[in-house]
């Protein structure tokens, strides 16, 4: 019979109608063969049999005769399925049997109506790319978006993975104003997942220091390397050990004083008072000892019979034997103990400790057992007080000695009826006073000269840091108004100590050189050990008996007559 349903056609079998297959349709009834089924047109599909119409395939899809088609190219007619465009392709309009490849620099996901430009730091080198890739480390996308390649960064610039520009630096470089610079010597410049080394976060190695985070110069801490702990802290105090700071970590914070290479806490007010009492007691004891020994020297046998004359001679002989060795050791110790403060080298810890102990004994360092930082709180221009104290105190002592000498001399002359006896006592007093004066100036010469000349030893100016005294970082040099005010005083002290004392010694020795290096009457020659040892000993005996040069024996008695100037 005749098939009356739409989408079907007549079969030779009785009462059986066949449906038009998928991909076709029929709008007529009574069809007598399959040829009456019309294939779906371009961009349409029919995924069911007995269809009386085909459906339009929408944008992002294409028509195909295979449901699992993934190549993006279907059939122009008779399509049974509407398949999503595969990744890397797109269908901008509907009614299409083919998808278009995304251009280079673009990508798409499945079923896309259009392509998406590669995001920042990603690229698609070829057309039809499903996913944009990340630029490798050390490369950057050639454009901000829709990049088609990644260009290699110009060394030493580099980049993170997936970067759109070369904005970081390789190891051992730091970035500033979008340019890379070599990492400063003794600095550490690294980059990692979370940071790019800039000038502000350069790590400073241990035993080095820099002015601040915005300065590239990294300077060695020569005099106190242990105080410089390095790092990448944000202020100058951050590069120093605890309680230390300032240039080269040389200044202790309030309430602390420098002890070696570290800052120690100052004692309480009670400790300070106790130390002052000890100092006063030592001063009184010293004065009493001087008075006692002076009295024993003058009236010893009438007050106490401590020594027989033989023993006293032995003591004097021992004294004359030890005195020149003591002089040599004093000067050597004074000079050697000041090496760490004068010469910029890193000394072994043992040598530094021994130098500090020697300085406290032979350079009169024990006088400053009360740390200046603890006596008054000052973090600026401290050296002016030190210079004044070190250079003026000996002058005060000398002035007091002169006063005592003149007072004692006047008293002797008034209280002694016998004029000859009085003159003998005055002569003995002068000999004692002169020997004490020469010994005192001999001891203070090195420390006072060092303190004076240290005023002119300034550091070089570096980036962000004024020149300051090498011995005291709190005192600026030529850029300071106070420094210029104190300059005349320092120059005057140069003529008192480094020049004045040697000139005084040379004047005294030259004035009395004929007495120090006498002519032996029996030979008519001066004593020369290389010519005649016996004659030299005779010259030394003549020198010892010369009362005129006795006050100056401290300067020459350890040397042969020939070397009166030594």
pLDDT for residue 1: 43
The per-residue pLDDT of the chain, averaged, comes to 81
Least confident of 134-143, 313-322, 437-446: 313-322
Beta bridge partners of 404: none
Tokens of 56: 């339009």
> Quick one: pLDDT band at residue 300, thresholds 50, 70, 90?
very low
Flag whether pLDDT at 154 surpasses 70.
yes
pLDDT for residue 501: 94
Mean pLDDT of the 173-194 span: 82
**Residue 555, C-beta contacts closer than 8 angstroms, at least 6 positions apart:** 438, 505, 508, 509
Q: Which residue from 347, 381, 384, 341 is spatially nearest to 471, judged by alpha carbons?
A: 341
Mean pLDDT of the 438-443 span: 89
Flag whether pLDDT at 184 surpasses 50.
yes
377 compared with 219, residue with greater pLDDT: 219
What pTM does this model have? 0.64
Report the b/e string of 483-511 with b at 16+ CB within 10 A: beebeeebeebbebbbebbeeebeebbee
Flag whether pLDDT at 432 surpasses 90.
no
Flag whether pLDDT at 169 surpasses 70.
yes
Flag whether pLDDT at 143 surpasses 60.
yes
pLDDT for residue 296: 53
Tokens of 544: 């010892």
pLDDT for residue 304: 42
pLDDT tens, position by position, 522-556 = 888 988 888 888 988 888 888 888 888 888 888 88
pLDDT for residue 328: 73
Flag whether pLDDT at 447 surpasses 60.
yes
pLDDT for residue 491: 96
> Quick one: pLDDT band at residue 307, thresholds 50, 70, 90?
very low
């Amino acid at each position: 019979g005749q098939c009356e349903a739409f989408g079907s056609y007549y079969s030779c079998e009785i009462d059986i109608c066949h449906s038009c297959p998928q991909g076709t349709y029929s709008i007529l009834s009574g069809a007598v063969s399959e040829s009456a089924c019309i294939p779906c047109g371009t961009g349409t599909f029919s995924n069911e049999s007995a269809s009386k119409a085909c459906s339009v395939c929408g944008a992002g899809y294409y028509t195909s005769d295979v449901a699992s088609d993934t190549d993006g190219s279907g059939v122009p007619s008779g399509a049974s399925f509407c398949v999503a465009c595969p990744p890397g392709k797109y269908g901008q309009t509907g009614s299409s049997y083919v998808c278009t490849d995304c251009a280079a620099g673009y990508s798409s996901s499945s079923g896309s109506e259009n392509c998406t430009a590669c995001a920042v730091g990603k690229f698609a080198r070829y057309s039809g790319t499903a996913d944009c890739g990340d630029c490798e480390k050390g490369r950057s996308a050639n454009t901000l978006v829709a990049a088609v390649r990644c260009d290699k960064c110009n060394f030493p610039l580099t980049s993170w993975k997936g970067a759109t520009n070369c904005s970081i630096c390789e190891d051992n470089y730091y970035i500033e104003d979008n340019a890379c610079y070599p990492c400063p010597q003794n600095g550490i410049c690294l980059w990692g997942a979370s940071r790019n080394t800039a000038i502000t976060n350069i790590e400073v190695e241990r035993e080095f220091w820099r002015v601040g985070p915005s300065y590239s110069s990294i300077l060695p801490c020569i005099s106190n390397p242990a105080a410089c702990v390095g790092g990448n802290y944000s202020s100058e105090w951050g590069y120093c050990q605890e309680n230390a700071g300032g240039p080269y970590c040389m200044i202790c914070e309030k309430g602390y004083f420098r002890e070696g290479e570290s800052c120690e806490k100052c004692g309480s007010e009670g400790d300070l008072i106790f130390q002052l009492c000890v100092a006063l007691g030592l001063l009184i004891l010293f004065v009493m000892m001087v008075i006692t020994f002076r009295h024993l020297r003058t009236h010893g046998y009438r007050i106490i019979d401590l020594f027989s004359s033989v023993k006293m001679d032995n003591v004097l002989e021992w004294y004359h034997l030890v005195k020149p060795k003591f002089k040599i050791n004093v000067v050597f110790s004074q000079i050697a103990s000041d090496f760490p403060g004068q010469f910029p080298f890193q000394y072994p810890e043992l040598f530094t400790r021994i130098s500090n102990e020697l300085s406290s004994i032979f350079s009169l360092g024990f006088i400053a057992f009360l740390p200046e930082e603890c006596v008054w709180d000052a973090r600026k221009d401290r050296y002016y007080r030190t210079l004044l104290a070190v250079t003026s105190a000996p002058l005060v002592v000398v002035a007091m000695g002169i006063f005592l000498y003149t007072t004692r001399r006047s008293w002797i002359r008034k209280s002694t009826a016998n004029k000859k006896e009085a003159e003998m006592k005055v002569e003995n007093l002068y000999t004692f006073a002169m020997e004490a004066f020469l010994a005192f100036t001999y001891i203070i010469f090195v420390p006072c000269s060092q303190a004076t000349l240290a005023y002119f030893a300034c550091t070089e100016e570096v980036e962000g840091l004024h020149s300051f005294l090498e011995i005291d970082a709190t005192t600026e040099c030529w850029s300071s108004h106070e420094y210029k005010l104190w300059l005349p005083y320092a120059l005057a002290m140069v003529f008192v100590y480094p020049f004045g004392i040697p000139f005084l010694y040379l004047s005294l020795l030259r004035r009395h050189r004929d007495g120090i290096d006498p002519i032996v009457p029996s030979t008519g020659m001066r004593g020369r050990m290389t010519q005649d040892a016996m004659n030299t000993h005779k010259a030394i005996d003549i020198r010892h008996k010369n009362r005129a040069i006795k006050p100056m024996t401290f300067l020459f008695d350890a040397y042969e007559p020939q070397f009166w100037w030594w």
